[in-house]
Structure 1
Amino acid sequence: MTQETVFSQIIKGEIPCDEVYSDEQCLAFRDIQPQAPVHILIIPRKPLKSIKDAEVEDKEMLGHLLLVSAQIAQQEGLKDWRTIINTGSEAGQTVFHLHIHVIGGRKLTWPPG
């Protein structure tokens, strides 16, 4: 990824966030425009535009992101939640740095949008 994003600026500490989890592979923080009582974003520290840009060597990191999403949901007291990865602008991706949404704390309907 060559283009700077708001998420890469958050990773570098140039923009503050309401951090809920951090390790050597990822950072998680509360969404500034939450769509539910709990809305957390999990971003890899590796600059990856979207899931469609992932390579075989990213499989451990991708698995780690999903495990962290479940850990965070439970840490937030969620019994049920939605885990979302938007891929591409027509799917709702607005920041082109791979990220996972963990959304819960209210009844979620289907289809989502």
Structure 2
Amino acid sequence: MSDPNCIFCKIAARQIPASFVHEDEDVLAFRDISPQAPTHIVIIPRVHLSGLNDLTPDLAPLMGKIGLVAKKLAADEGRVASGWRLVSNAGPDAGQTVFHLHFHLLGGRPMAGKMV
């Protein structure tokens, strides 16, 4: 399932170019076009979900796979020892601007301030 108006669905369909760093049957990952850290990778499911609020129990394996992809990419980027961050915003008040479930993998510099 995809949304013809979704920028991330268009990236997944190769209608918009991206610098892919991971691709399998369920998950894609590509470098952010406006990186906020030396490592800034966007990780998305191929299936269109608007965000975290669309998750259901049957999607737990997909979410686990996304976490494992993030861990592998952090290792590939040499970020395990120094640390890395995985972020997903849920809704406009949280700062979500693209309404396709996605995660930002950030690393390569100290992250400003505490999250909580």
What is the match of residue 46 of structure 1?
Answer: 47
TM-score w.r.t. the length of structure 1 is: 0.94
1:1-113 mapped onto 2 (5 Å cutoff): 2=3, 4-78=5-79, 79=81, 80-111=83-114
Query: Paired residues, what number?
Result: 112
Q: How far apart, in 1, do the equivalents of 2:107 and 2:3 lie?
A: 33
Taking the aligned partners of 1:6 and 1:107, their CA distance within structure 2 comes to 30
Unaligned runs of 5+ in 2: none
Q: How big is the shift at 1:3? A: 6.0
Structure 1: stretches of 5+ with no match in the other structure: none
CA deviation map 1:25-57 (0-9, x unaligned) = 010000001000110000000110001111111
What's the C-alpha RMSD, in Å, of the aligned pairs? Answer: 1.3
Cα distance, 1:110 vs structure 2: 2.0
One-letter identity of the residue aligned with 2:49:
L
User: 2:28 is paired with a residue of what secondary structure?
Assistant: strand
Among the aligned pairs, what percent are the same residue?
A: 43
